[in-house]
Amino acid sequence: MKKGKYELRIDDNLEAVLKSIDCHKSSLNYPSYKSTMENLSEKYIALIKPIGYVLVDENTVPIRIQCFVTVGEAIETVINTCFETHNYLEAMMLNALADRILFGATHHLYELISTHYLEAQKFLSTRFEPGNSDVSMSVQGDIVDSMKREYALDINITEAYMISPMKSLAYYYEISDENCSFGIDHDCSACGAESCHQRKYIIRLHKENSMHIIQGIYGENLLKVLQRNHVILDAPCGGNKTCMKCKITAKAHGYTLSQEELERIPESEQKDVILACYHMVDRDLDIVLETPKEHIVETGFIEFDLKLPQIYTSDDGVKFGVGVDIGTTTVAVSLVNLSTRKVVGTKKKINPQKSYGADVISRIMYINENKSHTLGASIRSTIMTMTDELIVENQIVGNCIEEMVISGNTTMIYILLDIDPKELAVAPFKTVELNFEDYQSSQLFKSKSNFKVRILPWISAYVGGDIVSGLYATHMMDQTGNILLVDVGTNGEVALKTDNRIITAATAAGPAFEAANIKCGMGAVDGAICELQMDRDEFVIETIGDQEPIGICGSAIIDAIALLHKTQKIDDTGFMKQEVMVFDNIGIYPEDVRQVQLAKAAVSAGIEVLLLEAGLTISDIDILFLAGGFGSHIDINNSAYIGLIPEGILEKVIVCGNASLAGSVRYLFEQNSLHEIQCIMNKCEYLELSTSMEFNTRYVCNMSFGDLKIME
């Protein structure tokens, strides 16, 4: 963390401010107070500018981070004038608003500092706040003096330790290797200010045999509190209250559940289960976190020769490389022995950003609204942790990594590099130039070893380095004939290689095949129903790991839709009278069918438009590479039956798993990699489908489950 001045977020939750002056929704004066508060906020909010100043003392053990946060003098002047003119209500309200913003700003600063240290697997201690803990009041004076000197600030502290401007706080954190406090900022439970209106609530996170504590201020959205503290949970709609997936066990929570929650949460669980994005923190909570289930590892179509571990040491001169694929849903990392050109281990984990929404747009919006680098820090930390785990598991000793190659969709790479992704979400979807240069590991990771990092470049905002990597993995440049690459993941990208062109396009397929927007959907983890068949009107299910079924993943969703159409529970238009249960309370709902229709229509229309652009028909295609983790496990016949892939070329389909990961691994093995990637980049053309009338027409045509014909 560098010393510096930070502009901080304005938390102006007016409901919470009203509550802090004891005005509740049930209060008689609530309507008039609310309207006064809204007017005051509109008039004066521009005067409140929360700023944080940070100094890092590396000479102390542990390292000490000094902070000074202020909302400035202007609002104080207004508050004083209100008091002087006997306008007590307004004075009180503005005072409470300024307090709220000041405390919210300290939270934001905490988030910035803790995110920075998280990458190095270091954690912040509790907040040492003079007067509220064992810290002498004189420390406050020391911090103010240091800040004055360093930043030439016009601030003062009296002998009674009153800071001017008054709406300011001076405190410090210590840096620790242990995540013992798990992100406690100011610890209200240890604070003597019992009547403080900014009092925070304790949220105890129980996980297997451990318990961590985080805090939320009154009025904060519970999902946001969990996000801020890097707690990973399913939140595909990013907190928009539409997916109903942010279900958490909060023991004896005491909340009154909304109608939607009552409908979604089985009666027997209602006492202990809530949906995180529905609740504003206003009480202490005990939350039980589930241990993440193991994910299937798809390693791509390259034959990864998994050997039994043997001990490697860097003294042998053996060097290793790391291939990484950052998917919107999952992150996959392969450790490869560069001498033997073998993959020694592969890991796959949930992308920690999933708590901020299932799709890239939700994440871009979160970053925009919160001006946050948290998502970037979390992915960098995940990649390094997975790499370290692979090194330890394979008993590799010493400074052994020589190179890392990363591929991913454009948004994921923007987030990795902390590039502002705002423009990716709005037309004309401009991208910045990615210098095709090596990074040093120290520029991205807090890693002990030093190695070079290569990031595969993107073609456009929605055809990313993962597709470049897939084209490379499938040796497109060496092949003759007409070849399609279809990557069905959270988005659907298609590429068509002919003898002299590579045309690419992205379709807004949505995350249906990743099961994010499917009611009982879940990732391909233990317990997910992954295959469905029908025996005399009864579903026969298969689950991953042969476990008790807990949801349904993408491959089985395709089976279900095909079977329900064959048995006429779904008609050609996609109409389904009512939900059909597949197992106990795990079912397929009419709205799930719509999501699948949208996704498969987008992919198939994209394929058709590429063929049209190249002057080809489906019968001209020699190979269709079906890429993407989910693509490895689907039933090709059912996929063709529902119209996800063209029926005419079933025998030409090659399922190639995670081609993006396979491409980054191939890059590590081959001398000529850079040249070949550059050839792919030079050859790739991008076709924008969002403005194509042809795409729109075909998209609508392909919605149906009837006879799917490629228009010729």
Stretch that binds ligand FES, among 233-241, 305-313, 517-525, 626-634 (CB under 6 A): 233-241
Q: Is 243 in the site for ligand FES (CB under 6 A)?
A: yes
Q: State in angstroms the smallest separation of the CB of 240 from ligand FES.
A: 6
Q: Is 244 in the site for ligand FES (CB under 6 A)?
A: yes
CA–CA dist 54, 230 (Å, integer): 22
Residues in region 516-555 near ligand FES by CB under 6 A: none
Nearer to ligand FES, 362 or 597 (CB): 362
In the numeric block, which tokens belong to residue 455?
């990031």
Element (H, E) at 686: strand 684-687
Binding ligand FES by CB under 6 A: which of 40, 109, 184, 237? Answer: 237
430 by Cβ neighbours in 10 Å (0-12 / 13-18 / 19+) ranks as exposed
> In this structure, are strands 51-57 and 492-497 parallel, antiparallel, or unpaired?
unpaired
Q: What are phi and psi of 212, to 5 degrees?
A: -120, 160
> In this structure, are strands 653-657 and 684-687 parallel, antiparallel, or unpaired?
unpaired
Binding ligand FES by CB under 6 A: which of 122, 212, 245, 497? Answer: 245
Q: Is 264 in the site for ligand FES (CB under 6 A)?
A: no
Whether the ω angle into residue 62 lies within 30 degrees of 0, i.e. cis, is yes
Binding ligand FES by CB under 6 A: which of 239, 408, 421, 631? Answer: 239
Over the window 274 to 293, marking each residue x when it contacts ligand FES by CB under 6 A and - when it does not, the resulting string is -x-x----------------
Q: ∠ at Cα 364 (360, 367), nearest 5°?
A: 140
Q: State in angstroms the smallest separation of the CB of 368 from ligand FES.
A: 18
Amino acid at 652: K
Nearer to ligand FES, 243 or 406 (CB): 243
Binding ligand FES by CB under 6 A: which of 3, 49, 197, 241? Answer: 241
CA–CA dist 545, 623 (Å, integer): 32
Assess contact for 184 and 214: CB atoms under 8 A.
yes
CA–CA dist 262, 246 (Å, integer): 14
Q: Is 643 in the site for ligand FES (CB under 6 A)?
A: no
Nearer to ligand FES, 521 or 643 (CB): 521
Assess contact for 343 and 304: CB atoms under 8 A.
yes
Binding ligand FES by CB under 6 A: which of 225, 246, 384, 516? Answer: 246
Q: 65 by DSSP, 3-state: which?
A: strand
**Residues 545/546/549/553 CA torsion (nearest 10 deg):** 50
Nearer to ligand FES, 132 or 270 (CB): 270
Q: State in angstroms the smallest separation of the CB of 233 from ligand FES.
A: 8
Q: State in angstroms the smallest separation of the CB of 243 from ligand FES.
A: 4
Q: 707 by DSSP, 3-state: which?
A: coil
> In this structure, are strands 551-552 and 528-535 parallel, antiparallel, or unpaired?
parallel
Nearer to ligand FES, 242 or 399 (CB): 242
Distances (CA, A) of 549 to 165, 545, 583, 586: 59, 10, 8, 8
Q: State in angstroms the smallest separation of the CB of 469 from ligand FES.
A: 31
Q: 117 by DSSP, 3-state: which?
A: helix
Nearer to ligand FES, 236 or 523 (CB): 236
Assess contact for 29 and 23: CB atoms under 8 A.
yes
Q: State in angstroms the smallest separation of the CB of 265 from ligand FES.
A: 12
Q: Is 235 in the site for ligand FES (CB under 6 A)?
A: yes
The overall longest dimension of the chain from CA atoms, in Å, is: 86
Nearer to ligand FES, 224 or 565 (CB): 224
Nearer to ligand FES, 93 or 274 (CB): 274
Nearer to ligand FES, 233 or 532 (CB): 233
Over the window 46 to 85, marking each residue x when it contacts ligand FES by CB under 6 A and - when it does not, the resulting string is ----------------------------------------
Nearer to ligand FES, 275 or 570 (CB): 275
Stretch that binds ligand FES, among 230-238, 488-496, 536-544, 582-590 (CB under 6 A): 230-238
Nearer to ligand FES, 34 or 264 (CB): 264
Amino acid at 94: L
Please count the residues of this chain forming the interface with ligand FES, following the rule CB under 6 A.
13
In the numeric block, which tokens belong to residue 696?
């729109």
In the numeric block, which tokens belong to residue 580?
């059909």
Q: Name the site residues for ligand FES (rule: CB under 6 A).
A: 235-237, 239-246, 275, 277
